[in-house]
Amino acid sequence: MSEELLEVTHNLKAQFFWVWIDHVKSYGEKLGDLRNVKLLETICVALEARMGFTPWEQLQWMFGAVVFFHTSEFLLALAYHGRRRVNAASTLISVPYLIALGVSLVEHALESWFAPWLKQQAYLSYTGLAMVVVGDSLRKLAVITANKSFTHDIKVERRQEHKLVTHGIYRFFRHPSYLGFFVWSIGTQVLLVNPICIVGYTLVTWRFFNDRIPYEEYHLRRFFGQDYVDYASRVPSGMPFVK
């Protein structure tokens, strides 16, 4: 997309924005509500100046989301399991994860340089930010609901604190924490408007959970027997296309 086309697109967005505002102002003036009309105009001027994200702002939001996600994961694990059972792995930061993060940063840098128009699709960045918030909220809700029964690694031996959790968010999904991470991870790339990594993160993350869920549920059936079989028969996994 050329610079001229980018400018035309931006001008059209601004034109439609202000046409809508003019209609609202006209309606307010007819009602004699001039004070609120003036306030609306002031707010809209500020909104128009903030209708998009710069590449640097996209990175700031993404890194903020990443720091919050991993810090909160560690603190929740610490709160529920104590210092003796928590280590660096509780942050969920691994070598493959860092490689994936690095790839996303390289893509963002290259596209910001060679295709800056791509990073100016504000609606995508806002969509990604919403996905990040929803995904992380869903995961944290799952962790808090499961309490001490939630662990980052798959347990092959049942401990005393392990209970079959079927209430709260677990009434709707068997693995809400996985669904939350899935949405969150893709959301970080939608926020950055990284088309290649959006596809890559979707495929890799889905494949990871598609392999993990059957293995985990094998042990859950060992732990809880028919109770888990019945639960799994009526509640979906939460992950798309994973039974």
Alpha-carbon distance of 201 to 79, in angstroms, equals: 30
Q: Helices (H) and strands (E) in the chain — how many of each?
A: 8, 0
In the predicted structure, residue 46 carries a pLDDT above the cut 70:
no
Q: For 187-226, what is each residue's pLDDT tens digit?
A: 999 999 999 999 999 999 999 999 999 999 999 999 999 9
- Taking residue 167's Cβ as centre, other Cβ atoms within 10 Å add up to 8
Assess whether pLDDT exceeds 60 at residue 56.
yes
3-class DSSP assignment, residue 126: helix
Percent of the chain exceeding pLDDT 70 equals 79
| Inter-residue contact 176 to 164 (CB < 8 Å) | no
At 138-175, the pLDDT tens digits run 999 999 999 999 998 898 888 888 899 999 999 999 99
Where are the alpha helices (H) located in 31-149, listed in sequence order?
34-49, 55-81, 95-114, 122-146
pTM: 0.80
5: confidence class by pLDDT, cuts 50, 70, 90: very low
